[in-house]
Amino acid sequence: MNNFITINFFIICLCIVSSTVLSQENSIKFAAPADKKIFVLPVPNNKIPLQSEIIITVNGIKLNNKATALTQWTNDNEATFIRLLQINVNKQNDQNQKENITYRLQWLPAKKEINTQIIKNKNSPHLVYPSAQWLAESILLHPKITQLDTSWYTSQKTLYANFVTNDLLLKQHKYPPARASQWLFDRPRSIFQLFILTNTSKWLNQGKRLTEFYLSNLDEQGTFTLKKQFDLKYLMPNGLLYFYLLTGDNRIKPVLKAFFEQSLNWQATYKSNYQFWTERHQAAALNIAITYWEISGSPQAKNRIDEIIDATVQMTFNPKNEWQIIGCPQHTYKSHEGKAGNSPVCSPWMMALLGDGLWRYYRLTHDKRSAALLNAFGDFMPKYGIHFADKRLNNQVLPLYLSSMDNKLLEIKNQWTDGQHSCDVASLIGKSLYIKRKTNEDTFLLQELFNVFVQQCKDMSLKNKYNKKDYALMLPPRRFGWTYSTTSDLPWLTSWLNDSAD
C-alpha cells in the first residue's frame, strides 16, 4: 500500500513539473506603454501554432483579448504556425499609469484556429517582442547564437546610417530625396536590420520614415515613379516585408502583389547569347517572389521561385555553348553589358545579391537547389572572382566587378573601388562556407578568403577620411544599401564559422 502511494505521489509530482515546464516554454513577457491597447508581435517559426488559445495577464490578472494571426509561416506549403500576431487588449489597469506595463502572453493548445480575419484599427499597433534574439528569428535575420558580438559591424554601420538618414546632409552632397538612384539596394531594409541588431528605436523610426517615402513614390501598378522608365531593380521588397512584420500595416500585401505581377516580365530562363541578363535582375525577381510568398503563401509565387531557381541551376550546372562548369550562372558579355562579346561572364558582387535570395529561401525551406548554388558560388570565388591590387594597395586581394572566363581583356576591375564590395562578397562566401560545413567539405582556402574580406569590411570605416564625430560620408549613398542590405548575418556567420573551426 505504501509503495502504491509513493508511486502515485511521484507521478503527480512529475505531472506538476511537466506542466510547469510546458507553461514556461509556451509563454513570453513583453513591456508596452500603459496607453497602448493594440499590439503586434512578430513570432519565430514553429513557436505559436494556429490552433492556440492566447492568454494575456498582468500581475496574474487575466485580461480579455482578441488575437488575430495576420500572417502565417508557410512550412511545406502548409500554414500551421503564426508569423505575425495582433493582440487587442481590454485593459483593467489604472488608466493614469504612465510607466510601461509588463504583460505575460501564454499560448495553449486549442481545437479551433486563431482568428485570421484582419481587424481594422483606428490606431496603429504597438510593436512588442520579448528579446532582440526573438525579433531577429522572427524576421529571419540570423539563427540563435549566444554572446554574438555585432559591434564591429553595427558601430561603423551606425556612422554611415547617420549620414544616409539625414536629408540635410544628403542635400548638401547633391542627393535630395527625389534623386532616384540613391534608393537602389533597399535602404529601408538596411536600416530595419540595424534596428534589430542594436535594439535602438531610432532606427525603427527611421526605417518607417524611409518606407513611407518609398511607398509615397509607388503608383498603383507598383512602379517607382522617381525613375522615369520602369526598372525592375527599383522594386525592393525586403524592406517592405520587414516594415510589415514590424507594424502589421495592411498596405504592404497589395504592394508586394503588384511588385510580383510587374516582375513576371523578367525572363528568368536565359535563352540567347543576346538576351539581356544579369545576376542583379535575377536576384530582384527572386526576392520579389520570395517576399510575396512569405506574406501571402501564394502558389503562383512559389511556382515563380521554383522557375527562377531552376533556371539559375541550369545556367550554373548546364551552361550553354559547351562552356566549362565553373560555379556561376554564365551568360555572355553582351547580355550583361550590352556590348559586343560572346565570352561567358559572371559578376561576383551581383552573385552576392542573388546568393542572398537563395540563402533566405534555403533558410525558409532547406531547398537543396539553393544550397547547391550557394556551394558552387563559393567554389567560383577564389578561382575566378578575385584579382590583386598593385603595390600601391599592398597587393591586397579584391573582388572583381565582372569576371570573364576566356577573355581577360573583358574583365572589369578597379583596384580603387572594388574594395567597396568586400562586405557583400564576404557575406556570400560565408553563406557558401555554411553549406560546405554542413556537407563536411574541405573549406580551408575559402575560409582564408572569407577572413580577408571580412577584415577589409571591418577596416572600411577606419580608412574613411571623411569620418565626422557622429557620422561618416558614404558616396554615392546607394553604397549603403549594397554594403549592408545583404550582410546582416555577416557577424553571425563570422562567429559561427570561427567556432566551427575550433
Say which residue, 21 or 181, is predicted with more confidence: 181
Shared domain check, 417 and 495:
yes
> Which amino acid is present at 171?
K
Establish whether the linkage from the previous residue to 125 is cis, with ω within 30° of 0: no
Average pLDDT in the 132-151 region? 85
Contacts of 396 (CB under 8 A, 6+ apart): 388, 389, 419, 452, 456
Residue 94, pLDDT score: 53
Shared domain check, 441 and 348:
yes
The pair phi, psi for residue 269, each rounded to 5°, is -85, 120
Shared domain check, 404 and 455:
yes
Shared domain check, 353 and 457:
yes
Q: Is 53 helix (H, G, I), strand (E, B) or coil?
A: strand
Banded model confidence at residue 465, pLDDT cuts 50, 70, 90: low
pTM of the model as a whole: 0.91
Shared domain check, 370 and 287:
yes
pLDDT in tens, 235-248: 999 999 999 999 99
Shared domain check, 245 and 222:
yes
Domain range for 151 is: 137-501
Is 11 domain-assigned? no
Question: Of 173, 156, 166, whose CA–CA distance to 187 is shortest?
Answer: 166
Say which residue, 37 or 79, is predicted with more confidence: 37
Is 156 domain-assigned? yes
Is 351 domain-assigned? yes
Residue labelled with grid coordinates 505575460:
104
3-state secondary structure 441-486: CCCHHHHHHHHHHHHHHHHCCCCCCCECCCCECCCCCHHHHHHHCC
Residue 79 · residue 32 · CB < 8 Å:
no
* Percent of the chain whose pLDDT exceeds 70: 91
Average pLDDT in the 289-305 region? 96
Contacts of 13 (CB under 8 A, 6+ apart): none
Q: How many domains does the chain have?
A: 2
Shared domain check, 250 and 155:
yes
Average pLDDT in the 439-459 region? 94
The pair phi, psi for residue 198, each rounded to 5°, is -105, -15
For all residues of the chain together, what is the average pLDDT?
90
38-42/126-127 β-pairing: parallel
CATH number at residue 179: 1.50.10.10
Residue 453 · residue 425 · CB < 8 Å:
yes
Shared domain check, 159 and 106:
no
Banded model confidence at residue 351, pLDDT cuts 50, 70, 90: very high
Shared domain check, 202 and 77:
no
Is 375 domain-assigned? yes
d(CA 298, CA 95): 43
Average pLDDT in the 346-363 region? 97
Residue 333 · residue 390 · CB < 8 Å:
no
pLDDT of 144 strictly over 80 = no
38-42/101-109 β-pairing: unpaired
Among 130, 150, 177, which residue terminates a domain? 130
Among 115, 130, 145, which residue terminates a domain? 130
Shared domain check, 273 and 219:
yes
Banded model confidence at residue 306, pLDDT cuts 50, 70, 90: very high
Is 64 domain-assigned? yes
Among 130, 148, 174, which residue terminates a domain? 130
Contacts of 482 (CB under 8 A, 6+ apart): 184, 185, 349, 353, 421, 424
Range list of H helices, 318-471: 333-337, 348-365, 368-384, 422-438, 444-459
Shared domain check, 144 and 119:
no
Is 70 domain-assigned? yes
Shared domain check, 492 and 457:
yes
Residue 380 · residue 326 · CB < 8 Å:
yes
Is 18 domain-assigned? no
Q: Is 162 helix (H, G, I), strand (E, B) or coil?
A: helix
Residue 21, pLDDT score: 37
Is 14 domain-assigned? no
Banded model confidence at residue 78, pLDDT cuts 50, 70, 90: low
